[in-house]
Amino acid sequence: MTHPTPGDLLALHFAEAELGRAERWRAHVDVCPACHGLLADVAWAERLLATADEAPPQDGLLRVQARIEALSPAPARRRSPLRATLPSAAALVAGTAAVSFGGAPAALVFFAAGSLVTLSLAPMLILESQRRGREAAAR
């Protein structure tokens, strides 16, 4: 069973969905407790907002923005070029030594070992890249 997305459920709640899709989603909501609960929460929040005694303050957005601006930004990480250069230089020296002293068989072993290390690190590097992408998108 595929669930409608939260956006689809909101479109259903606010009667903005196409007729055919709305019928399918309504049938799904009737049998799915999770989707039914989400729509019930939206309806509850809507009722609560409609019956609120006080209107939000006129300067509410300005006050929130002022509080955000008052926060000090996180310190930027200092990146040392040595951190990237040192492992590359070490690999270059090791590769040169392997070719110089061991010839072609040693070079093949060196490159095979390097390939295995790269493949073993790839998942970790991909996850780190995705984490940094999410952090950048959140800013």
Beta-carbon contacts of residue 3 (< 8 Å; ≥ 6 apart): 28, 32, 34, 35
For 124, the token pair is 């970790």
The rounded distance, in Å, linking the Cα atoms of 117 and 119 is 5
What's this model's pTM, rounded to 2 decimal places?
0.40
Q: What confidence score (pLDDT) does residue 116 get?
A: 84
Confidence band of 43 (pLDDT split at 50, 70, 90): very high
pLDDT at 1: 57
> What letter does residue 71 receive in the DSSP assignment?
S
From the number of C-beta atoms within 10 Å of its C-beta (0-12, 13-18, 19+), residue 112 rates as exposed
Whether pLDDT at 137 is above 60: yes
> Is there a contact between 91 and 121 (Cβ–Cβ < 8 Å)?
no
41's enclosing H/E stretch is helix 33-50
Mean pLDDT for the chain overall:
83
| CB of 106 closer than 8 Å to CB of 99 | yes
Average pLDDT over residues 106-125: 82
**What's the one-letter identity of residue 79?**
R
